[in-house]
Structure 1
């Protein structure tokens, strides 16, 4: 059966979309007229008949493929394995780019034309269209008559283009599964799908070996990586090894190298490289270690309680607050009190800002869907991002993730259910939050909803959850409902059916006139002890911070160093600090890393973690003679209130959570800033007590709900 490239495109779109699509929508998606789509749909009906499927047409609504799931799956497999005798222009350009990236030296246009079954003129036109895309990667084409065409650019740019191609066409959940499924295929077998062609950029066996090495090392990381970052790192490393084996090295400047070597991620990059060198019996240059470090820094972190205690973190928090303010003004919804939105944005923005600054880019398979379903919110968030980050070009993929965070907040939350629901997402915290919010909006009875990545799911006991929902296939696991991150009508019905069935099956136990053992909520002794220890750690940290809090007025004219030394001396007398010089040096080093003044305020937050600190503390120094210091935006500013936050070098996770919460209070609102600048110790202490009580209550409620 012959299927044209356009017909194949239309079939793939209709099979992907679970709801009706208008002819106009289809025409817009593939870039043709409505009349052309009408003509192609007639041929598509004949193709569907071969699989006992029909094309439902609803006047004013659209068209949709209808039939048994088994027959639909057969058609999907046929399309996946279809030999592409005809490609769309976009597919042709992708294949041409793959060929140029893989070939050292010029490629003949005639050879490309024969491979693609088109004329040399068509290939030449495709190359012209490719030039703009290549420019964005820092690459260009050398085109000479009789010579052919060759890709010009450094190795780093070529690898960036390869990664971008793979992530643009393959969902992160497909990459490793496709490699595993096809690992046994003979290398001589002709590649006949775009997915296969892209995976041809790196040897499949290599991809899977690299995954094993990375998987063993990331268990030691002090933070968790989302699946998208994990797959991105695996692909990057596999490409790097492939290119090193072909003699293609990467160049890096000395200053950048030294900057990467000073980071904590560098030692993990070294471990990865040491194992890869052993497995592949190759020597990996030091420059490659720096690039792996860059990828670890750019990883989308799911949880990182240190985010507000690390360098530049309060600056990120300020950006998050500014972003919330900008969006809030336009949407007309009060988002300032939404703690979940604020914390989610801070955790996302820190690695995102690093990615944008380094020009790394990110894969977001949902960008198109988000643009389509939330066009107004996408436009609002994009404009807000341009205002908050005028120095950067924020790509639509990053904006898409930000929209998910805001979409989750704008949709709002309702009452939750009494049985446990687990949501598995591959695209990070924004996608998860959007899906969880949609679930809670559609099913108010869902009370306890937890979101995790696939890697985290592997460590959980699935029998603890009554309902498991995933946006991606889970190998070797059957009892779950697979959905799209935006939840369509069919998926909502599927979940509703499951919940109703669960209620009916479990109603007999609930109607008994006596209490069952389950209703007593029997606690495991070990778990209960751990909960109590957690509560104790929160309460101890909060109590010590409140007891140690003090507002000290300094009337003499002093330098910043003199004020800090005096402050540390006083804390030493109170037995909060045991080594004055060590702590003072740590504060100086922190100041040298970047501005500490909070823009738009008269405050500067000096913070450090040092082995010279015995216990965490927070103090404020009111300066009668203001000092001039650098703000977090790099501008000089007048500081009247020097805030000092200290902690031991390796504080536990709960202590970091409390300190992070305290840091965020400084810039939470104009009201909170005014309180910290009030010069009134009692008012500040009272405010801190109120907010810490709220924080502590939320933590206890969370522990009880688990």
Structure 2
């Protein structure tokens, strides 16, 4: 039976019919007005449609996609496209439209009105609502349905905003939000246009400009994903203000229930300026709500820690890497970039899987095709770990991107042309693209992976070209757009772009500023090396080991006794406040090193005056994680905003705790041997940085 097709699928099939030669996903995206990610997302369903006519899609590396099959099948497909009207909305699109419609109004909606708009039956709408009810409950909201009354979403305004942000995260890409005004998803689909309106996409750049006008230093220091989360949250709030959906001053808990509104004065100034733009007067509760957002992104729970996630997570990444080494024979253990990328990604991936978040990876199909062996290795490796959750292929593909980037790093060459990268899919795609560029284009010097907002503001003299995987809010001739997998066709396109845009041909900077920039780069590296050596020397020199008599003490008393040992050392100006932070951190995640009696207690705080590493051997073991006896505690402390070199060194030390020899020394060895071992390992770390 021939299936219904959407308008977008019709456009893709027509393009493939009209182009009897290969056509790239980027060319398809440009022709039908969507992102490349959307093309990959639609490709699987499109292939199923073509199978009904005896047709297939062939993908040729470096060339593109081509439709294959008998002429009779091609003729039947052309006839079908002339006769068949496309289905207006898929089931998924319908539910998005319904959620947006319900959450954007305070009045109940009639089922027949939704059915008429979506061109389906009332029974179909009712079935959709049955499926949406559980999703809505995740945010503390209720789907109210009564005969003769209609349907509405009831609950707190702050919870509705959380639901909108989640809806955007599940169905929109960064390119949909920050593209240069084209709104690629919305242009071809009224549903996604409605979602973009619901999240306040038209106000996002206004919000961003106002945020930068505040001239706060912390804004520029936010990681890209956190910055985008903040922009989306603020844009949703502004959209809600515009349509009269505000948080009342009484009766509702605000500040996202996550903070004590420490950034209240900054939030008040931000809201005041936005009131002038919108010609509105907002209640105090909205100021507290915005302060909650600022608190969350400036000082989330993980920002006070010194290692990625908990120690158990680090052990998991170590096991994952170890299995990949055994299966491939490649030295993945030596790649710090791989380890850090995996730690960051796995923590977020586990959260997505456990929260039931819909996981999208539009690069799944091409990754399977281009890295079949590695995909199988990582899938088998994950299965070998026997996790208590099911890891979908989409997440496996993300992991493959990290390991693929690590494999590419084996072939680095010296570069002379200066390029910066902007990617929408996170660290994994940006690193994979960077390594493919380094391998395929020896004339490029990759100066770093930056976010789109950083790229838009970087002085032009600091780079020769911008390579991006998304549309950027800047002039089209200032950057070139490619896919994360970098096809052969895109390499040729990039070479032509370099020859036309970069002074002196493929990669040489102009004679006037080249030496100066190179000199500044060298000076910057020297300062970084000096900072690393300074941090290593300070931590090793000030490392101390104490025997702690804690018989009869519980955990708070033991930590209090540890703080007393630091008295007069210059490490902290408020031992009681630091004790409270350490206890809060202990509740967040496991601090015990797997399969040992050693625990790592660590935090960042304004009450820490200098980075510190201290070892305590306990007279009486502590019971942590419900059943594990701990006899040794390593205490790692850093100021709230330490130099990046300090964080690098402390993070490296935390990773070294997976070394059984270091664990043995910490549990049993004398202080001089521990100091010597740390010195040797950190010296090797420093030498590998150069």
1:542 aligns with 2:543: no
The equivalent of 1:583 in structure 2 is 575
The equivalent of 1:195 in structure 2 is 192
Q: Quick one: which of 320, 334, 344 aligns to 1:337?
A: 334
Equivalent residue of 2:218, what SS?
Answer: coil
The equivalent of 1:451 in structure 2 is 449
Equivalent residue of 1:640, what SS?
Answer: strand
Per-residue CA distance 1:616-644 (angstroms, 9 max, x = gap):
33232334x342142xxx33432222223
Per-residue CA distance 1:564-599 (angstroms, 9 max, x = gap):
6676666556x54586xx336523541354254434
Per-residue deviation, 1:478: 0.9
Change (3 A) 1:261 1:273: farther
Equivalent residue of 1:601, what SS?
Answer: coil
Per-residue deviation, 1:282: 2.9
Per-residue deviation, 1:455: 1.4
Q: Quick one: which of 431, 434, 442 aligns to 2:429?
A: 431
Per-residue deviation, 1:241: 3.6
The equivalent of 2:598 in structure 1 is 603
The equivalent of 1:594 in structure 2 is 586
Q: Report 1 or 2 for greater relative contact order, CA contacts < 8 Å, sequence distance ≥ 6.
A: 2
Per-residue CA distance 1:205-249 (angstroms, 9 max, x = gap):
544433333344584327734555444433333333443553454
Q: Which moved more, 1:543-552 or 1:499-508?
A: 499-508
Q: Distance in 2 between matches of 1:270 and 1:386?
A: 50
Q: Distance in 2 between matches of 1:191 and 1:687?
A: 61
The equivalent of 2:79 in structure 1 is none
Equivalent residue of 2:541, what SS?
Answer: helix
Change (3 A) 1:221 1:537: same
Equivalent residue of 2:675, what SS?
Answer: helix
The equivalent of 2:12 in structure 1 is 12
The equivalent of 2:494 in structure 1 is 495
Q: Distance in 2 between matches of 1:509 and 1:431?
A: 27
Equivalent residue of 1:478, what SS?
Answer: helix
1:659 aligns with 2:659: no
Change (3 A) 1:395 1:40: closer
The equivalent of 1:171 in structure 2 is 173
Change (3 A) 1:156 1:509: closer
Unmatched tracts of structure 2, length 5 or more: 17-22, 30-39, 58-64, 75-84
Change (3 A) 1:270 1:340: farther
Per-residue deviation, 1:314: 6.0
Equivalent residue of 1:111, what SS?
Answer: helix
Q: Distance in 1 between matches of 2:97 and 2:397?
A: 27
Equivalent residue of 1:621, what SS?
Answer: strand
Per-residue deviation, 1:322: 0.8
Alpha-carbon contact 1:156-1:250 (below 8 Å) kept: no
Q: Quick one: which of 677, 689, 696 aligns to 2:667?
A: 677
Per-residue CA distance 1:67-108 (angstroms, 9 max, x = gap):
xxxxxxxxxxxxxxxx99944454444434433333433433
Per-residue deviation, 1:470: 0.9
Q: Distance in 1 between matches of 2:522 and 2:332?
A: 35
Q: Distance in 2 between matches of 1:285 and 1:362?
A: 35
Number of aligned positions between the proteins:
632
The equivalent of 1:29 in structure 2 is 45
The equivalent of 2:81 in structure 1 is none
Q: Quick one: which of 108, 114, 117 aligns to 1:115?
A: 117
1:471 aligns with 2:466: no
Change (3 A) 1:337 1:198: same
Q: Distance in 1 between matches of 2:356 and 2:505?
A: 50
Alpha-carbon contact 1:319-1:388 (below 8 Å) kept: no
Q: Quick one: which of 193, 199, 217 aligns to 1:220?
A: 217
Q: Distance in 2 between matches of 1:148 and 1:161?
A: 21
The equivalent of 1:100 in structure 2 is 102
Equivalent residue of 1:654, what SS?
Answer: helix
Q: Which moved more, 1:253-262 or 1:585-594?
A: 253-262
Q: Quick one: which of 411, 416, 419 aligns to 1:414?
A: 411
Per-residue deviation, 1:162: 3.4
The TM-score with structure 1 as length reference comes to: 0.71
| Cα RMSD (Å) | 5.2
User: What is the 5 A alignment of 1:146-185?
Assistant: 147-151=149-153, 155-156=157-158, 158-177=160-179, 180=181
Unmatched tracts of structure 1, length 5 or more: 42-54, 65-82, 183-189, 511-515, 702-706
Alpha-carbon contact 2:55-2:69 (below 8 Å) kept: no
The equivalent of 1:635 in structure 2 is 626
Change (3 A) 1:442 1:601: same
Per-residue deviation, 1:324: 4.2
Q: Which moved more, 1:480-489 or 1:313-322?
A: 313-322
Q: Distance in 2 between matches of 1:207 and 1:459?
A: 17
Per-residue CA distance 1:280-326 (angstroms, 9 max, x = gap):
43324547845874687479x9xx9x96x824846535414313413
Change (3 A) 1:276 1:37: farther
